[in-house]
A and B are shown apart, each in its own frame.
Chain A
Amino acid sequence: MKFTGNKFIGYLVLALIIALTGCASPDRIVLLPNADGSPSAVIVKTATGERVIDKPYEAVSVSQSGGISQDKETPDSVRARFGSALDAQPQRAVTYVLYYLNGKVEMTPESRAVVKKLKDDLKTRSAPEIIVIGHTDSVGSDEYNDELSLDRAKDVRNILIAAGIPDSLITISGRGKRDPAIKTADGVPEPKNRRVEISIR
């Protein structure tokens, strides 16, 4: 193929227009406030520079060549641009703790009320994955407490299955007296350590 001078310039202009309009919209990064109010930051590195944004709604645009320009968004402008992505955000992970009676696979009356809350929470979640970890206080042997902690975890699993959660989404384990919530000497009864932790994601 042979280009005449004019045709060549024509193609060049066309390529330039495509480069400028078709592919040239910048990438954009916006820092949001953390749900718990703690400080946070994003470090943006490009071919030509680096920028740290560390205040809520600070934003940067990055051109195709890597140039960085900084500005600010607002909650409203963020909604307009990122509404669908934000609406698709899964629910946050949460952890519940249920307490058990001394040496038993039987919950305290207070914890039975928490089970009700937990079940209501589960109804609002789609495809919840649940990790159940049983614990004991330090009274008794490792073997005894390993079995007791696992039995407590199984008790919670039974409750979850009865509430309609598929077994495949539940992972259970018993940690015996290895991970106390409150550290004690061996052989010390401690109600806060006789517990099952339930993490829901």
Chain B
Amino acid sequence: MSSIKMKAIAGLIMTLAVATAYARDDVGMVKNAKGDATIQRGEQKIAAKPGTGLLVSDRVITGVNGSVGIALHDGTLLSAGPNSTLILNKFAFNSTTNKGELDATLKRGTLAVVSGKLSKSSPDAVHYRTPTSILGVRGTEFLLEAGGN
């Protein structure tokens, strides 16, 4: 086998390994997005589109006309209105035991939350934050607005 072929195969294997690793790290998925909606991942800016995977530490940012809807792996639904910044600080979910943790911050803007399995199985490990408050939830649907700018 030529070394070029070998390199190509090695490259392909690495690409597959990375792709698999990313898929495994996903903790949620963008289900819908409107207007200006991006995910900031470290230095990277990714357009939020239906099917875009979400990782821990991602910042979801919407502009003046933007909105975005996300489903996390425990079934939690997060949807942000315009001019919003949402940070997923922590997320872990074991689909066998339904245990894990969720910690998210709404820095600004509006957010609608439909709690998923974690809020039933690990209620003390589910927290939402605004600049002024920390919220604990008990099997809940609620709305958040962060007024600070």
Contacts and interface: CB of A to CB of B under 8 A. Distances in A.
Nearest to A35: B141
Contacts of A44: 133-135
A83 B149 CA distance: 20
A89 B135 contact: no
Interface size class for chain B?
A: 35 or more
Contact of B81 (A41, A85, A127): A85
A168 B115 CA distance: 26
Interface string B27-63: 0011111100000000000000011000000000000
Contacts of A33: 141
Interface size class for chain A?
A: 35 or more
Interface string A60-100: 00111010000000000010011111111111110000000
Given A34-B139, A88-B79, A127-B29, 20 more contacts: A23-B149, A27-B130, A27-B131, A27-B144, A28-B147, A29-B142, A31-B140, A32-B140, A32-B142, A35-B141, A85-B79, A88-B67, A88-B69, A89-B69, A89-B112, A90-B71, A91-B31, A93-B71, A125-B31, A127-B30
A92 B149 CA distance: 31
Interface string A29-58: 111111100111111111100000000000
B67 A42 contact: no
Contacts of A89: 69, 77, 79, 112, 114
Nearest to B68: A88
Contacts of B114: 35, 89, 92
A126 interface: yes
B93 to A, nearest CB: 12
A26 interface: yes
Contacts of A35: 114, 141
A90 to B, nearest CB: 4
Contacts of A126: 31-32, 50
Contacts of B131: 27, 64
Given A27-B144, A33-B141, A82-B110, A63 B132 contact: yes
A88 B133 contact: no
